[in-house]
């Protein structure tokens, strides 16, 4: 299975990738994108099974990425890994089609709990 990590911070992409391995998902292929625009392009070329995205990014934000993805009819499971945790933002994410939000900072156990169901199907 393939996981797309979309975050403008290379350090955060590395942290997410490392945490995925620590959470028991080391056998999954990981691809990366540094903003929502590249994330959208990557979904077309790589067909990921799960997308993990930051909210705040240049070029195209995470929510814009999700909106564009869903507008194309793409139903790939999508989760935000973000510091954005206001009730309004959580509501917007769910209404737009996000499957979950994982607040930063996070542990391997929290990641496994949030994404395990999407990768075992």
User: pLDDT tens digit string along 71-102?
Assistant: 999 999 999 998 877 899 999 999 999 999 99
Mind giving me the DSSP string for 2-60? Answer: EEEEE-S-HHHHHHHHHHHHHTT-TTSEEEEESSHHHHHHHHHHH--SEEEE-SS-SSS
Query: What is the 3-state composition of the chain as percent helix, strand, coil, each rounded to the nearest 5?
Result: 45, 20, 35
Q: What structural domains and CATH numbers belong to the chain?
A: 2-119 (3.40.50.2300)
pTM: 0.95
Looking up tokens 């709990």 gives 113
User: pLDDT tens digit string along 24-83?
Assistant: 999 999 999 999 999 999 999 999 999 999 999 999 999 999 999 999 999 999 999 988
DSSP single-letter state for residue 61 = -
């Amino acid at each position: 299975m393939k996981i797309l990590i979309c975050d403008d911070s290379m350090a955060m992409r590395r942290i997410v990738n490392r945490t995925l391995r620590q959470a028991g998902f080391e056998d999954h292929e990981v691809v990366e994108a540094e903003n929502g625009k590249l994330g959208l392009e990557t979904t077309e070329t790589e067909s990921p099974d799960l997308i993990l995205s930051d909210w705040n990014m240049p070029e195209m934000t995470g929510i814009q990425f999700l909106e564009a993805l869903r507008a194309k009819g793409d139903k790939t499971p999508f989760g935000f890994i973000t510091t954005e945790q206001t009730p309004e933002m959580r509501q917007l994410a769910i209404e737009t089609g996000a499957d979950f939000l994982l607040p930063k900072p996070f542990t391997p156990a929290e990641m496994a709990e949030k994404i395990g169901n999407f990768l075992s199907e």
